[in-house]
Amino acid sequence: MTATTAGLTRQIRVDHPSAGYAAARVAREAAHEAGFAGVLADRAAVVAAELAGNIDKHTGGGSVFVQRSLIGRGVDVLAADDGPGMTDLDHWLLDGNTTTATMGTGLGAVKRMAAEFRITSSPAAGTLAAARLLDPAVPPPRRAIGHFRLPRDGEEYCGDAVALADVTGSRTAVVADGLGHGPDAAEAADAALRVFTENPDRPLSHQLTNMHRALRTTRGAAVALVRIAPRRLEFCGVGNVSGASLGDGPSRLLLSTPGVVGFTLPSAPVRHLTLADEDVVVLHTDGVGTGWRVPGRAPDLLLLAADLAHRHRNARDDAAMLALSADRSA
């Protein structure tokens, strides 16, 4: 049984020509933190520089987000812009086609060096891209996942936190939002995650009760928990962490009970849902707006993380999201 907590996501705003070098430096730092060495760290730097360079050359601005992967040993590089899009995406995915004069040889190089690469582009919505670099010596993750954890602009601490655990026959995840922002909010969210990581296999209602006790000396937090097993979901939440199950049909909202863990804990029922094989489950704090949902299809989770971080995040608040695929193993 392994529980993993998400580190901070680093945002590099691409609003100046040197943003590519800044993105490369941050990606190399994240790679070293993930245990990469030598050529693996260099690849992470090249991927981040290429994605930042494309934004700088072809759009009026955007952002690159760099973070350690939440599962496996890896680094995620997400990129998003509001530019004119690419009309011939297949052409620019050929290795060697580049107009950005950056460290590598264009999007083809990004696709070749990354273990996973996703990109979508249109004149109406700009471009979203996401690359995941993985240590080939470590077995790759078996399931899709997307996430980010961003502090309020100008803050060193983030009061929103995310953790994930693989337990027998299922996965369990928590998203916590410490009230307010800054170090006191981070203390509350971290206290909730410590309870979770000690015994992630406990029933969700027990988790909330134990968190409530642990958070009484803090300012409190909103908390949502999900457990995903083959074709079924359990959800339990208190406060303003939002959730939804997305698939081929209309989205199904996962509604938390009003309250504050650590201050006033209501009776929070555990909701049970049936999941289809292609469904995804999304949790996010109130630092992410609620107008992003697109009913009728399950999104790619890495691109969803890039989209929410760039287009739907409130920069005046901490923000975190976690998206998980349904467990197909029966």
pLDDT tens column, 167-186: 878 999 999 999 999 999 99
Question: Which two tokens mark 261?
Answer: 């863990």
Integer Cα distance of 78 and 63 in angstroms = 8
Locate CATH 3.30.565.10 in the chain. 9-134
Residue scoring higher pLDDT (138 or 226): 226
Q: Alpha-carbon distance 134 to 140, whole Å? A: 7
CA distance 287 to 270: 24
Residues contacting 55, CB < 8 A, separation 6+: 14, 19, 61, 62, 63, 64, 79, 81, 83, 127
CATH architecture of 9-134: 2-Layer Sandwich (3.30)
Cα dihedral sign, 164-165-170-173: negative
Question: What pLDDT score was predicted for residue 61?
Answer: 85
Is the pLDDT score of 93 beyond 90?
no
Q: What is the pLDDT of residue 210?
A: 96
pTM of the model: 0.92
In the prediction, which pLDDT does 109 show?
Answer: 85
What would the two tokens of residue 102 be? 């950056």
Determine the Cα–Cα distance for residues 197 and 174; give it in Å rounded to an integer: 10
Note the pLDDT tens digit of each residue in 270-296: 999 999 988 999 999 999 998 886 655
Strands 232-238 and 221-229: antiparallel
Residue-wise pLDDT for 194-235, tens only, equals: 999 999 999 999 999 999 999 999 999 999 999 999 999 999
Q: How far is CA 208 from CA 28, 53, 114, 211, 321, in A?
A: 37, 45, 38, 5, 19
> Confidence class of residue 139 from pLDDT cuts 50, 70 and 90?
confident
Amino acid identity, residue 104? G
Q: Which CATH class is domain 145-325?
A: alpha beta
Secondary element (H or E) of residue 63: strand 62-68
Chain region(s) in the chain for CATH 3.60.40.10: 145-325
